[in-house]
């Protein structure tokens, strides 16, 4: 590990604090506002709850885990499905229940350790499910990119998406320093400017918006009745299987970056509880589920600034931005093909990250067992299979594929032993 510029508990100067915190804000901004944009939630609430959730996470982890929590892409399809069947309130109830699962898992880990989680969610299960998440959204991204407001093909709209996509790719591949960490934000800005030039942006709402504006929070029992149904549970809760694994992966990578075993101290149970608490807070206010962000881990790795105070500063700024009406209106004015162009790359990266997990974990597809598990997950998830028990109880697509993968991993013979943590794995590699 390189010597940190600012270690986890070190405080920056005021000037450093603002600059470094803004850097983290920009890193998460594009992806965090994209999720509510896609599912029809308020971007200002997503910003506000990402900041509030991050502060809760830092508090629960005893200010020892430098992480930022943004909107989770894994829940896009389930939220859309839940909203279709029961409105926004149903999606929030499902999100809260998913966060509650995190709390239950954290409690079990506190009592029984975390090795069982590694056995439940091996790479051969999680990798293909992550691929399903990305490829399952491919049609949504392409539709946003190609079609006009009337739902018909539009070359003009597609050109906006292609310019956005090109800018994002160029920034991802060629940019250096901070720009290399915010390709999504750069792509959105370039696409927005191009869309403005060709007449696809309406700035009237931005001009009319107030500088200070209270977000349109979605409160349970006030804005919607709370009814927990089997369908909501099966739509949202199984996705926690995937996001729990994503969380563990992020904690392992973050441990490598900062040179401390965060799985042991402050403990995986604390970080999982922090993640789940952030998701529940978000659900209670009308925001999307939360997850630790790889983009911000990348910022930590590049800058070697690990200070939790910097992450807390980014959270406070995000909360403040949630109350700036001009910013909310500006986000809402972004044309659909701009988001479509960014989504083509983002959803592809999600799918590719699942493939990367399989490669990095050295999953051997020469073994029939692994081939069977991955094949079943991919076809059930991407094919949109549905297990319909009744009209009010059904398990769909991604959730069904995740459950099928977990069951197959337990039932099929030859299950390998789980590596307990990354440090053990590295030690074994050196011995070999």
Domain count for the chain, please give it.
Answer: 1
Q: Return the bridge partners of 387, or none.
A: 395
Share of the chain above pLDDT 90, in %: 37
Instruction: Give a yes or no: residue 305 inside a domain.
Output: yes
Q: Could you tell me if residue 383 is inside a domain?
A: yes
- Spatial contact of 215 and 45, defined as CB atoms under 8 Å apart: yes
- Residues 148-163, buried b or exposed e (16+ Cβ, 10 A)? beeeeebeebbbbbbb
Looking at the domain assignment, is residue 8 inside a domain?
A: no
- What is the rounded average pLDDT for all residues in the chain? 86
Closest Cα to residue 252, out of 242, 262, 266, 240? 262
Please indicate, yes or no, if residue 421 is contained in any of the structural domains.
no
End-to-end CA distance of the chain: 22
Q: Which residue has the higher pLDDT, 231 or 217?
A: 217
pLDDT of residue 391: 65
What does the pLDDT read at residue 104?
A: 95
114 vs 404: which has the higher pLDDT? 404
Under 8 Å between Cβ of 237 and 94: yes
Q: How far apart are CA 50 and CA 318, in angstroms?
A: 7
The enclosing H or E element of 387 equals strand 386-390
Asked if 179 and 295 count as a contact pair (C-beta separation under 8 A), the reply is no
Determine which of 139-148, 342-351, 360-369 has the lowest per-residue pLDDT on average: 342-351
Least confident of 54-58, 86-90, 229-233: 229-233
Q: Indicate if the alpha-carbon torsion angle 219, 223, 227, 233 is positive or negative.
A: negative
Peptide bond into 188 cis (omega under 30): no
Note whether 76 and 137 are within 8 A (CB). yes
* Structural domain containing residue 290: 14-412
Q: Considering the entire predicted model, what is its pTM?
A: 0.80
| Domain membership flag for residue 429 | no
pLDDT higher at 173 or 195: 195
How much is the pLDDT for 432?
40
Is 340 contained in some domain?
yes
The tens digit of pLDDT for each residue in 288-322 reads 999 988 778 877 877 788 999 999 999 999 999 88
**Alpha helices (H) in 198-335, listed in sequence order:** 204-208, 230-236, 240-258, 268-285, 294-303, 308-321, 325-332
C-alpha 159, offset from chain centre: 28
Encode pLDDT of 40-57 as tens digits.
Answer: 899 899 999 999 999 999
**DSSP letter at 71?**
E
Per-residue CA distances from 250 to 107, 126, 298, 367, 381 (Å): 20, 14, 11, 28, 24
pLDDT, position 100: 95
Confidence of residue 146 (pLDDT cuts 50, 70, 90): very high
Describe the crossing of helices 138-146 and 336-360 by its angle, rounded to 10 degrees. Answer: 150
**Is the model's pLDDT at 422 over the cut of 50?**
no
Give the C-alpha separation, 288 to 408, whole Å: 30
**pLDDT of 257 higher than 80:** yes
Residue 222 to residue 92: CA distance in whole angstroms: 13
Q: What is d(CA 6, CA 308) in angstroms, rounded to the nearest whole number?
A: 10
Distances (CA, A) of 43 to 48, 364, 406: 9, 42, 34
Q: Over range 261-286, report the average pLDDT.
A: 94
Q: Kindly give, in sequence order, each residue whose CB lies less than 8 Å from that of residue 157, ignoring residues fewer than 6 positions away.
A: 145, 146, 147, 148, 200, 335, 336, 337
Of the candidates 184, 227, 212, the one whose C-alpha atom is nearest the C-alpha of residue 94 is 227
Residues 181, 182, 183, 184: what is their CA dihedral angle, to the nearest 10 degrees?
140
What would the two tokens of residue 260 be? 């401390």
- Tokens 């590694």, located at residue: 118
What pLDDT is attached to residue 33?
84
Residue 284 maps to a domain: yes
- Does a structural domain hold residue 205? yes
């Amino acid at each position: 590990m390189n010597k940190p510029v600012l270690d986890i508990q070190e405080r920056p100067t005021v000037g450093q604090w603002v600059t470094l915190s803004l850097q983290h804000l920009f890193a998460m901004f594009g992806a965090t506002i994209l999720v509510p944009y896609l599912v029809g939630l308020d971007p200002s609430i997503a910003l506000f709850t990402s900041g509030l959730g991050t502060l809760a996470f830092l508090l629960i982890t005893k200010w020892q885990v430098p992480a930022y929590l943004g909107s989770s892409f894994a829940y896009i399809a389930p939220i859309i499905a839940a909203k279709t069947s029961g409105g926004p309130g149903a999606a929030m109830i499902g999100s809260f229940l998913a966060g509650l699962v995190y709390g239950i898992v954290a409690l079990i880990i506190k009592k029984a350790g975390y090795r069982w989680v590694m056995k439940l969610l091996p790479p051969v299960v999680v990798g293909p499910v992550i691929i399903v998440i990305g490829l399952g959204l491919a049609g949504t991204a392409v539709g946003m990119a190609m079609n006009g407001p009337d739902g018909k093909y539009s070359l003009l709209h597609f050109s906006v998406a292609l310019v956005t996509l090109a800018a994002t790719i160029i920034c991802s591949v060629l940019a250096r320093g901070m720009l290399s960490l915010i390709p999504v934000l750069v792509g959105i800005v370039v696409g927005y400017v191009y869309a403005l030039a060709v007449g696809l942006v309406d700035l009237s709402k931005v001009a009319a918006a107030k500088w200070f504006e209270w977000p349109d929070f979605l409160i349970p029992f006030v804005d919607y009745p709370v009814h927990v149904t089997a369908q909501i549970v099966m739509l949202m809760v199984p996705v926690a299987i995937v996001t729990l694994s994503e969380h563990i992966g992020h904690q392992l990578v973050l441990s490598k970056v900062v040179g401390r075993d965060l799985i042991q101290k402050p403990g995986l149970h604390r970080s999982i509880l922090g993640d789940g608490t952030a998701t529940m807070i978000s659900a209670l206010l009308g925001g999307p589920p939360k997850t630790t962000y790889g983009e911000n881990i990348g910022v930590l790795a590049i800058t070697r600034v690990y200070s939790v105070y910097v992450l807390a500063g980014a959270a406070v700024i995000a909360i403040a931005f949630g109350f700036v009406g001009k910013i909310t209106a500006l986000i809402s004015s972004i044309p659909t093909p701009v988001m479509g162009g960014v989504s083509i790359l983002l959803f592809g990266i999600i799918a590719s990250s699942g493939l990367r997990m399989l490669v990095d974990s050295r999953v051997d597809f020469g073994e029939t067992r692994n081939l069977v598990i991955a094949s079943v997950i991919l076809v059930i998830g991407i094919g949109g299979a549905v297990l319909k028990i009744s009209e009010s109880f059904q398990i769909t697509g991604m959730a069904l594929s995740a459950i099928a993968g977990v069951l197959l991993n337990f039932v099929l013979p030859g299950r390998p032993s789980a590596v307990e943590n990354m440090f053990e794995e590295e030690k074994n590699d050196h011995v070999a």
